[in-house]
Structures are given as C-alpha cells and as structure tokens.
Structure 1
Amino acid sequence: MLEVTCGKTGRYCDGISRRSALKLGFAGLGGLTLAGLYRAEAAAGITSSNKAVINIHLGGGPSHQDMFDLKPEAAREFRGEFNPIKTNVSGFDICEHFPRLAAMADKFAVIRSLIGMVDDHSNFHTQTGYGRKDLQNIGGRPGIGAVVSKLLGPAGSGAPAHIAYNDAPVGYLGPVYKGYRPSGGDLKLVGSMTADRLESRTNLLSSLDKLRRETDGSGQMKALDSFTQRAVGVVTSGDVANALDLDKEDKKVRERYGKDMDSFLRARRLVEAGVRVVTFDWGGWDTHANNFDSLRKQLPRLDQGMSALINDLHERGMEKDVTIVMWGEFGRTPRVNMGAGRDHWSRVAMGFLAGGGMRTGQFIGSTTKNAEEAKDRPIHLQEVFSTIYHNMGIDVSRTQIIDPAGRPQYLTDKRDPIKELV
C-alpha cells in the first residue's frame, strides 16, 4: 500500500485538523516504465541537477521576537523572558536558546522584516507565496514543489521531484504534480521480484486501465499513473530507498541531530538521493498561552536539528546546491498577553535561510522598537520565493506556466531575488 499524505495529525487554535490522506493500492493503477520516463525526460531536454530546496514550516506561527529579533531594551511586557546572545558574526544577536546556531551564524541569514504573511493557520502561503483565495476559481496557486516538478521534473536518480510530509498545494497544475510521500513498510523489492518484473506489472495495469483512462476527464487517472510511477521509482532506486531508512545513517550523525529530529535528517538524505524539493512541518508554535515555557522546550531542539542539518550540508559539499528556508505562517504579537502567550501577528515575521550558494552571515531588515512593524528593508514573502527559484536555476522574470484558462501565469508577482543574498 502507498500513502500520499497531506499534513500531519494535530490541531491549531482554529480547531482544523491538519491531516488528510489518500491511500492508493497498486490494483487498478497504471504508469510508464522507469526507462520510458527517462526517455521522455531526455526528449524534453530535462537533465539531472543537484539543486534542491528544503522548505520547513513551523506550524502555528513562531514568535519572531523570541527567536531572532529580541528587543532587550523594550518594556518587559514586550521583550518577554529571553535574552539575546552574540553570534560569530558581529552585531548579529539571536536568542539564548540557540547556542549552536550562534556559533555558526556565518552559515545562515535571517530576514527580520518579512511582510506579506497571512493570518491563516496554513502553510499555503509558505508553499506558494500567495493566499489561498488567489486564483481560487481555477484551482489556486501551486506550491513550489509542484512548480519544480512541472518545470524540472525528476532529477534522473529514480527519486520523485517532490516529497511532501505536509500539505503541498498543487493548485491549477492538477493532482499529477502532487507531492509524494512514501509510507508504510520496507520500500524494497523482495523475493523474486525484480525491477523489470515490477515495471512489467505496471505496464499490464496501464493496459487494463486504458479505457477508463481515456474516458476520464478529471485528470485523476493521469495523477494515479504519476503516483504509481513515482512509487516504482522509489522502490527501484536503491539511493532513495536507502535515504528513507534512517537506520542506515551513521549513529554519530543521528545523535548529532538529536531526539525527534528525524525530519531534518531525512530531508538531507532525500536531497542527497536526488529529490529536488522536500517539505515538512515541525513543532507546534501556536503559543497563545505559556509561550515561554513552550519555547524553552522547542528552541533547544530546533537549535540542535537545524545546526546539524546546516553542518551536514557543508561537510558534504552540498551547501551551494541545497537551499534551506524555515518560517511559519506569521509572527506573534509584540505584547505578551495575560496567559503569558503571544497571539497571531501577520504584519511582520521572520524568515531563516541557509545554503543555496547565498551570501549568509547576515540579518536583513529591522523592525520597530517592539517588533511590531517592519522598519528598514521590508522583504515580501514573494521575494523569498523568487530567491529560492533563482537558486534552483529558474528565471522568474521570464518563466510562465499556462493555467487551465489558457492564461500565462508568472511564478511570483515580485520577481526580483533578494539582492543581499544572491
């Protein structure tokens, strides 16, 4: 059984479940052979590259002023309970609960003046750069994983272009570009099954389903073909199967990431195996109450997992090819509420970036005295996406995708990459 899962179990303050799953059995599914897919890619001019992005969503909305934009001179009801510490970059202070990241601040950049966020408990805008209502009449905006899958396709290693461990909007591109999530059991060939036999079976299923496929007007059968092919690719690619098996990782490396940080390690292993886009949610950040008690537990774990991921990429020579972006749906209120929490605040937020060959070791922009508004160098959410696409080798100033209504759509409206980074 294969499972394509959107999101993770859990609820935010709006009471909406973040889990939605579609389970697909092999019966009734068809697809191209792996060899046929590679021939099609070659004919389309799609070639392998090492460029990749890891998009990490801190679901619930992380407190920007308690992480990377502390205000020690503000009144206590604004500054909160944490203190800033110096990093290895002069003038770049961050939270005291990030000692590992503080020692390697030259390897990442922080946007302190991120605008364009939406007061919506969703990762939709950190996947697309747009709100959910944009182009809703034709399916909505596609996420970066779907866009990269459409424009670049698989890298040629057998890995799917996009693996999503959270909601990954496909928008008007349709379900064929939905992020793939392998789940359940050991994804390896067993017994007498060989790659050729597995591909022969998918060819047979494709033939049996030909009539239904030809009469299907929704695109769902085409999507199932795509899911099947990606599953075959995962199973027949030793690199991808090994990447998913964290027991194959060196014990010392696993310990470096820390407890419950498998998502960070798995992301590194997947991009190393050829996946172009990996997206996942981590942690619970909807801290309307007990903000500081929650962060005292969350921040040290994030510090360990993120520092391990960045170090891993540098040690493996991948830091110029793999872009890391970490953010949430919005920031938190400047004033601490009566429950020692912070509420939703979409007027300014933080963005964390590393790798991708970017100029790191800097913070970009600033906020007003209580971290309530962007003051200097506001950076729009879409400018971050334009930067990530640039790092992936996609020219957003020219690239367009034709939507279902026949209209060309740019990937972003703000198409200049962030000049401080590229």
Structure 2
Amino acid sequence: MNPTRRRMLKIGATGLIGGLSLPRLLQLQAGAPTPAPAAAQACIFLFLEGGPSHIDMFDMKPDAPQEIRGPYKPVATSVPGTRICEHLPRIAKLAHKYTILRSHSHNDNGHNTGYHYVMTGYKADFPDGNSKAPNNHLFPSIGSIISRELGPKSPVPPYINVPDVMAGGGPGFYGSKYAPFVIDANPSQPDFEVRDLKPIEGIDAERRERRRKLLAAAEAPTAKGRQESMETYYRKAQELITSPAARKAFDIASEPAALREKYGYTSLGQCALLARRLVEGGCRFVGVDHSGWDHHFTIFPSLEKDMLPHVDRAFSALVEDLDQRGLLDTTLVVLMGEMGRTPRVNKDAGRDHWSMAQSVVFAGGGTKPGQVIGATDKQAGAPTTDPVGVPDLLRTIFHQMGVDTTKVYNTPQGRPVPIVDGGKLIKDLV
C-alpha cells in the first residue's frame, strides 16, 4: 500500500522516520532516485610554479633532434606503452594509479597572469609581472569556490594554502569568508609551527572569550568591509585555537619518520604529507605552491638534481599513502603548473615559457587511472588532438567535487560571474 502525501508528512513530522527530511520524504513518494554523492570529497592541488617542462617529464619525444628532445631517456611504466622520464622512477611504477593529460593548452604565456588564469578560469586584468599575492582581486579562485559551495565539514578550514599564499588563490569578490587559511611556514623545517594554533600561555578559555568580546566592541563600525574581514580572521583563529581536531591535523611531527622520509624532507614532500593529513581532518581543498620551475638557464642539471627527484618522491608517496588509507577514491590529486616549456632548448641551455602545450597528471577522486589522454606533435609544441583548456580543467574538477558549475554570482557592482566561464567535461578522464 502506498502511503498518502498527508500520511507521509505526518510520519515525518513526528520523527518516526529518523534522518529523513521533507524533501527526502517527497522524493521517496515520487520514486525518484537518491542523488549520488560526489566522487571526490577533497582535492589536493600540487602546483609546480614557474612552468614544469612537459617534454622532459611526461611527454617525451625521443625521436626528435637533440636540441628538442634533451638528454633524458624515457622509461617504461606500470602501464604497457606509457613511457615517462627516467628521473621519475617512482612515479613510473604507479602509472596504473593516475592518468596523464598531454593536450592541456592555453594562450597565456605569463607567470602571474597564467597563474591567475589557471586558478580562476578568467584572464587577468593586469599585465604580467604583478607579483602581488593573491593577485585575483575580482575573480574567486578554485579553492574559494569549493569553500563557498561545499562549506566546512570539520573544524579544519575548508580551503588551505601551504607553504605560502598561492598567487591566484584569493577569494576575489567572494570576500574574506572564503579566503584560504595560509600556513605561511615550511613543514620541512625542524621548527615548523602553524600560526594561530598555539594558545597564548597564561590565558584560559574564559579570558580569551572576554578578550574576543572586548575586541568586537572596540572595532569601529565605520569601515564595514575591513571590519567584517577582520572579524572573519579573528573567528577563524579562535576556532583553530580551541579545536583539538584542527591541531591534530596540522601536527605533521606525529607522523612516523619512515613515512616522512618516503615523501622526502623537501618543501614539496612535506607539504604533500601535510596535505594528506589536512584532507583526513576534513579540508576540502589544499593548494600546495612549489616554486622553482622557471628554467630559462641550464635546465637539465636543475631538473635532474633537485626538481624531478622532489616531485618523484612527493607525488608517488602521496598517491600510495592515500591509496593505502582508503582515501584515494575520494581525494582528487592534480599535478600541474601554469604552463609548459618551449620544445627547443635555447642558447642558454634552458627552455622558455610555453603555454600552448602542457601535461597535467590526475589521480584518484573518481578519475579513470592508467591512461594517457591527448597527444602533441613531434616536438611537443601543440596538441594534435582536441586541446583541453583551463575552463575544461576547472569544470571537470568541480564536477568531481559535486559543485554546480551552472551557478552565477554577482559582483558588488552587479556584474554576473559564472563559476566556470565555458568549458566542457573531460569525458575520457571521468
């Protein structure tokens, strides 16, 4: 016997069906399917700032002339037919756990403007060279959008930048409520400590509350925007100080020494490990900024000795660690920079800016592993398959996170700004 609408409402109102809301009751009555949860509950965004060389890492061209292919050799991976750089041996062994997108392409060849574009999906309204961080005063970043749309799920902030603020990672016109919590410290350092987590000695909870009320009363009501901004920061700091769960999530020193060594005692390695802890603690989006990839001079010694070993250990350890803890399926890991590098080695034995082709690596979060999507020409200079642009990339990440990309918000001036301006889902990936 099918219950009537009135009977269903009465049952729901008396609480006999625990945990069922009115919309859910009506959905059951209509026989509608329950919406599936988002594939990814969190995203770890490893940003290789400066422009990692795709042709020397994930899109090698061994048959090209020496001045294009460079000195490195491709090696086999755990996926037959997929080959990557010999200096990424750990990542090569895990190729069945991730997918390489080789056809990412856009037309912004600047560091600051390209960073802005990748993080927001909108072209910068300033010339390249603006080193202010964050530089997106109008358009919100991907992390701020996720923070606004999904909200916090624990005392850990929903959006975090480590080890410093990301150059396109601000909240834009969304305001300070959706700004990242910036750790502003390097977790690879022995004296690493997260600000705002350590209570002031000699001040108990009652005294802190009295101070908070006094501060709120003392704030001038004139500059409304600044007042609201400061109140947001004070509230966030108070929540962190009083939350054991938040302090635990940031406590990287509690990790076994062997695991920390596996990630590598480098900025990227320890930031990746901390990102895993933050995701476990409930963070929605962790943006890791790793600089040093702008190799206009003597690129190969730098890549071989420093940059490639660091990313090899950090990325492989993160994917394995998440997988072993049962978190990889629900955590999307993205490895990329703002651009790639020129196919041809320049006169200074370096490679210059090249946004027309770049490789992006995805793992977990409901993506299909063990693939190579897209291809570039014989010089890794341009896609020979359909290019994947920044809006496509962001739309796909939002889709996996369960963010409604059809939403539009108005700026304070009334200008409508879609969450994603165009783009399409990378179907082969999801």
Q: CA separation in 1, counterparts of 2:69 and 2:254?
A: 44
Counterpart for residue 162 of structure 1: 159
Distance 2:85 2:326 in 1: 28
Please state if 1:179 is matched with 2:180.
yes
Task: Give the distance between the partners of 1:414 and 1:189, measured in 2 at CA.
Answer: 46
State the match for 2:145 in structure 1: 147
Letter of the 1:331 counterpart? G
Partner of residue 221, structure 1: 227
1:288 is paired with a residue whose SS is: coil
- Distance in 1 between residues matched to 2:336 and 2:394, nearest whole Å: 12
**CA–CA distance in structure 1, aligned partners of residues 398 and 209 of structure 2:** 33
How far has the Cα of 1:195 moved from its partner?
4.8
Q: Which amino acid aligns with 1:172?
A: F
Partner of 2:120: 128
Q: Secondary structure at the match of 2:366?
A: coil
1:228-275 C-alpha deviation (Å, 9 max, x unpaired): 111122222222212222211112211111121211111111111111
Residue type at the aligned position of 1:62: P
**What is the aligned partner in structure 2 of residue 198 from structure 1?**
208
1:196 shift after superposition: 5.6
Alignment of 1:240-389 (within 5 A): 240-260=246-266, 261-297=269-305, 298-389=307-398
Larger radius of gyration: 2
Q: What does residue 428 of structure 2 align with? A: 420
Match of 1:89 among 63, 79, 82: 79
- Measured in 1, the distance between the counterparts of 2:60 and 2:183 equals 39
CA contact (8 A) 1:112 1:365 kept: yes
Letter of the structure 2 residue corresponding to residue 160 of structure 1: P
2:217 to 202, 207, 214: 207
How many positions carry a matched residue from both structures? 366
Report the CA distance shift for 1:206/1:369 in structure 2 as closer, same or farther (over 3 A).
same
The CA deviation at 1:177 is 2.2
Equivalent-residue separation in structure 2 for 1:319 and 1:365 (angstroms): 24
Amino acid at match of 2:117: H
Mapped to 2, the partners of 1:71 and 1:182 lie a distance apart of: 39
- Distance in 2 of aligned mates of 1:131 and 1:329: 13
1:345 is displaced (CA, Å) by: 0.9
- Report the equivalent of 1:108: 98
What CA distance in whole angstroms lies between the structure 2 residues aligned with 1:171 and 1:413?
16
How far apart are 1:153 and its partner, in Å? 2.2
> What is the CA distance between 1:200 and its match in structure 2?
4.5
Q: What TM-score results when the alignment is normalised by the length of structure 1?
A: 0.82
Cα distance, 1:194 vs structure 2: 4.8
Aligned to 1:18: none
Displacement of 1:126 after TM fit?
2.5
Q: Which runs of 5+ in 1 are unaligned?
A: 1-47
User: Larger deviation: 64-73 or 221-230?
Assistant: 221-230
Pairing of 1:6-21 with structure 2 (within 5 A)? none
SS of the residue corresponding to residue 320 of structure 1 reads helix
Residue identity matched to 1:108 = Y
Percent identity over paired residues = 39
**Which of structure 1's runs of 4+ aligned residues deviate more than 6 A?**
none
Give the residue type in structure 2 aligned to 1:158. P
Relative to structure 1, is the Cα distance of residues 194 and 89 closer, same or farther in structure 2, using a 3 angstrom cutoff?
farther
Tell me the amino acid that sits aligned with residue 116 of structure 2. F
Q: Give how far 1:149 is off.
A: 2.1
CA–CA distance in structure 2, aligned partners of residues 97 and 411 of structure 1:
38
Counterpart amino acid of residue 128 in structure 1? T
Tell me if structure 1 keeps the 8 A contact 2:46–2:289: yes
CA contact (8 A) 1:117 1:125 kept: no
Structure 2 length normalisation: TM-score? 0.80
Q: Which residue number corresponds to residue 14 of structure 1?
A: none
Aligned match of 2:189: none
